[in-house]
Structure 1
Amino acid sequence: MLLKKLLRFGSTYCYYRTHSEHYTNFIRTFRTSSKCCEQKEEEKESKALIQRDAFDRIQDKTKQTYLEAIKYFINEDHVYRRGHVEFIYSAMKHMQEFGVHKDLEVYKALIDVLPKGKFIPQNIIQAEFMHYPKQQQCIIDLLEQMEDCGVMPDYEMEDLLVNIFGRRGFPVRKYWRMMYWMPKFKNLSPYPVPDPLPNDTFELAKYAIERISKVDVTTVVTVYQTVDIVDSIDDTWVVSAQSTTQKMLLQEHDVTQPIYVEGPFKVWIKGNPINYFILRTKAGPPAPEEKDVNLDDVSKLKVSLFNLRPPVGKAMRKIPSVHEQDDGTIYSLCATGTSSQDSLLSWIRHLEKDGNPKLGEAQVVFTLRTGSKEIAKVGEEQDEIKRKLKINDTNRL
């Protein structure tokens, strides 16, 4: 029995020695084939990355081309839809370029990219431990971007989220919170503007001046044309606001004190900046401070006799209006089409003709600010400082 085993082992060994080259070649080909498989996987991943960043290659950046790119991704892999999370993040990054960051239909199309029924938790443990966290966090980021852009979801979006993550998913909870709070804040602004806003700068300037001047209900917004003033250079419009109280304050102004035109200041109308200017003077003398009176002190209480009223204090103080601030009194404000000094000079001439003769007697000083400078990055500033130090060291040497 032992002899049979030795003969069998010897024959196997001899066969292996004679065919060793065949086995080594097979192992080599297997390894090379595995490398080829790895290379193919890398090529697939690179193709997927190219596909996800396909929004950069689109020339016509419109809503239609954006939706077509989403449909192309869905139709290419309609079963598993590999790389859907990366595709959604890439699509969110390019939404503002296509002008669809405030479009509800586009957000629903992005949510529809995820496959249905694959990320629904099967028990309470999976639900509370955020089953499939990568996909859920992706949709939560999408909903947060909707909230930042002021896009309110609808009930169709709830059906999409329930079909993808179930009723216990974290994106569905985020949706419920948005549907509770966003309708409460939608019409809460006391100064509403139309949605969508017009693209005309003149209309935006009117909305901006009306919003600022609504602190006084007697304010009248007037539109002037600079060509109505003789020797004017700019041909543009001026949106001016002035109330009856401001006209009275301007009539009481001391002509020996100068009046300043300051600006430009910036106000934002739903992401659109508008420059405006103010006409003001320096603050007057501070009002006398009132002495603190202890109302609980009854030691000096004066009792009236024979139904006579107690004497009233003679110290009286005029209550300042809303236009009289601590840093000065505001007489008017405006926004012009060019924001130039010539258009502001035409504005002053129009105000003088419109019931403000003191502007022709007082000295008007233009204290205009220059445009905003470019803000350098911290890293660039440090590099510049290091470069100057190196130059100084070389000069010393």
Structure 2
Amino acid sequence: MQPTTPLFLQKFSSNAPESKELQRLTSFENVENKNRDTYLDMIRIFINRNHVYRRGHVEFIYSALKNMESFGVQKDLEVYKALIDVLPKGKFIPTNVFQAEFMHYPKQQQCVIDLLEQMEDNGVMPDYEMEDLLSNIFGNRGFPLRKYWRMMYWMPKFKNSSPWPVPSPLPDNIYELAKYAIQRISSVDVQSQITVYQTKEIESSIDDTWIVSAQAPSQKDLLKNHDLKEPVYVEGSFRIWVKDQLVNYFVLKRQPKQHIKTIKDDLDDVSNIRTPIFSFQKPIEKQVQVMQSVHEQEDGVILAVCATGTSTKDSLLSWIRHLEKDGNPVLSDALVVFTLRTGTREVATVNNVEQKQIESK
């Protein structure tokens, strides 16, 4: 029994001439229900046209690539293979070495190269079936097949090379993304501890949200030895990307401390060399310089880092109060300056709920 043509495609069968209705249905901008099934149906409509070489396939592929994100199929391998299958087979295969090296049918080859580039940008790994498609369309000497071979060599090497693996696809929950982001930032210190706070545990809190915080024992020691005459700053928001998702985070920091070098002699100075055999003078006094931690940077000392569900000043104030209870009592007497990117800056002490507005710099 021969398969019947679906009702959706009967009026566009191989015997039907090209019509305005067909052009409308193959236009991705005019589609209302944008999903994967609709996207594949439009590709099948275009393939079933009664043209030997399917004229306009390059423009169709570029239009399909442009609208992939609106249909949510930019990471679907089967969709990319369906687009490659739009091209006619055997027409673009070079017959001699000159045609192969001078890019026989350059418009069509460049179109497929752009398709493979978009696959690579979206992290889509090709398979061996795609190699057969490209070989049947452009031959074994085609530039798209060379691009495919390069992708198959490099992409498996980098697929699992990230030290911060995340699931694919990414979770839609911003809370899970924040944990991945803070874990990536705090991995600079292997002793960093990630803690999740709830703002509702603070009595005077207004927001009801979560706080993902990270702090290492060395950062607690730096905060313990902090001079109360100097303020500590809450800065942000800064941006970090978890794959293609953006997460905002904040840091607690203070001004950098000037370390005085105590080594008196220049070790590269050879103008006055002394030998231990003929020189009976007292040895030169040398002192050991204190090694700076990884949290002491040139622009400041990082004391903690966090991401909140609302990224508001109230949630950050709740974060400071949670840090105070979690082994940082010095914050109860310290002057906390909120230098958020809102045009104003607020000074607040943890014990006092009142906040004083001052002019921004």
Q: Distance in 1 between matches of 2:115 and 2:320?
A: 50
> What's the CA shift string for 1:152-185, capped at 9, x where partnerless?
2111100000011110111111111111111122
- State whether residues 302 and 310 of structure 1, in contact with CA within 8 Å, keep that contact through their aligned partners in structure 2: no
Q: Deviations over 1:236-259 (max 9, x none)?
A: 000000000001111110111111
Q: Quote the residue 1:120 is aligned against.
A: 93
Please tell me the residue identity of whatever aligns with 1:66: Y
Percent identical residues: 63
Q: Hey, what does 2:137 align to over in structure 1?
A: 164
The match for 1:340 is: 312
**Equivalent residues of 2:262, 2:286 under 8 A apart:** no
Please state how far the C-alpha of 1:300 moved relative to its aligned partner. 1.7
Q: In structure 1, what is the equivalent of residue 169 of structure 2?
A: 196
Cα 1:287/1:69, change in 2 over 3 Å: farther
Aligned partner of 1:311 in structure 2 is 283
Matched to 1:85, the amino acid is V
Query: Do the aligned partners of residues 299 and 256 (structure 1) sit closer, same or farther apart at CA in structure 2, a change above 3 Å counting?
Result: closer
Shift of 1:137: 1.0
Match of 1:393 in 2: none
Partner secondary structure for residue 212 of structure 2: strand
C-alpha spacing 1:51/1:63, structure 2 compared with 1 (3 Å) = closer
Is 1:89 the counterpart of 2:62 in the alignment? yes
Alpha carbons of structure 1 residues 285 and 294: separation in structure 2 relative to 1, 3 Å:
closer
The 1:366/1:126 distance shift into structure 2, 3 A limit, reads: same
Residue of structure 2 equivalent to 1:260 = 233
* Cα 1:296/1:231, change in 2 over 3 Å: closer
Please state whether the residue corresponding to 2:182 is helix, strand or coil.
helix
Of residues 187, 193, 199, the one that matches 2:160 is 187
- The 8 Å contact of residues 304 and 310 in structure 1, kept in 2 or not, is answered as no
- Counterparts of 1:98 and 1:317, CA distance in 2: 60
Distance 1:160 1:187, change over 3 A: same
Does residue 125 of structure 2 align to residue 152 of structure 1? yes
| Partners of 1:273 and 1:227 in 2: CA distance | 26
Partner AA of 1:345 in structure 2: L
Quote the Cα distance in structure 1 between the aligned partners of 2:25 and 2:265: 74
Secondary structure of the residue that 2:240 maps to in structure 1? strand
For the residue of structure 2 that corresponds to 1:264, the secondary structure is strand
Q: Is 274-283 or 309-318 further displaced after alignment? A: 309-318
Q: Which residue in 1 is equivalent to 2:301?
A: 329
Structure with higher Rg: it is 1
Matched, 1:235 2:208: yes
Cα distance in 1 for residues equivalent to 2:265 and 2:172: 54
How many Å separate the matches in 2 of 1:291 and 1:59?
76
Matched to 2:133, the amino acid is: L
1:259–1:280: 8 Å Cα contact kept in structure 2?
Answer: yes
CA-to-aligned-CA distance 1:207-228 (integer Å, 9 cap, x gap): 0000000000000000000001
Aligned partner letter, 1:168: R
Q: Residues 89 and 251 of structure 1: is their aligned pair in 2 closer, same or farther, counting only changes over 3 Å?
A: same
- SS of alignment partner, residue 76 of structure 1: coil
Q: 1:345-385: CA deviations, max 9, x gaps? A: 110111000010000011111111129xxxxxxxxxxxxxx
Q: Which has the higher helix share?
A: 1
The aligned residue for residue 355 of structure 2 is: none
Displacement of 1:289 in angstroms is 7.9
Q: Secondary structure at the match of 2:48?
A: helix
CA 1:60–1:289 in structure 2 vs 1: closer, same or farther (change >3 Å)?
A: farther
> Is the aligned partner of 1:138 residue 2:138?
no
How far does residue 286 in structure 1 lie from its aligned partner after superposition? 4.2
Q: Tell me which amino acid in the other structure corresponds to 2:229.
A: T
Structure 1 stretch 77-86 or stretch 229-238: which is displaced more? 77-86
Does structure 2 retain, via aligned residues, the 8 Å contact 1:81–1:114? Answer: yes
Count of matched residue pairs? 327
- Which residue of 2 is the match for residue 62 of structure 1? 35
Match of 2:330 among 350, 354, 358: 358
Q: Tell me: CA distance 1:134–1:361, structure 2 relative to 1, closer, same or farther (3 Å).
A: same
Q: What is the rounded CA distance, in whole Å, between the counterparts of 2:282 and 2:240 in structure 1? A: 52
Change (3 A) 1:222 1:312: farther
Aligned residue type for 1:342: D
Instruction: Note the residue ranges of structure 2 that are not aligned, 5 or more in a row.
Output: 1-16, 344-361
| Cα displacement (A) at 1:194 | 1.5
Normalising by structure 2, we get a TM-score of 0.85
In the alignment, the residues of structure 1 paired with residue 52 and residue 72 of structure 2 have an alpha-carbon distance, to the nearest angstrom, of 30
SS at match of 1:196: coil
Deviation at 1:60, TM superposition (A): 1.2
What's the CA shift for 1:115? 1.0
CA distance in 2, matches of 1:157, 1:309: 79
Aligned to 1:19: none
Deviation at 1:59, TM superposition (A): 0.9
Q: Which residue of 2 aligns with 1:208?
A: 181
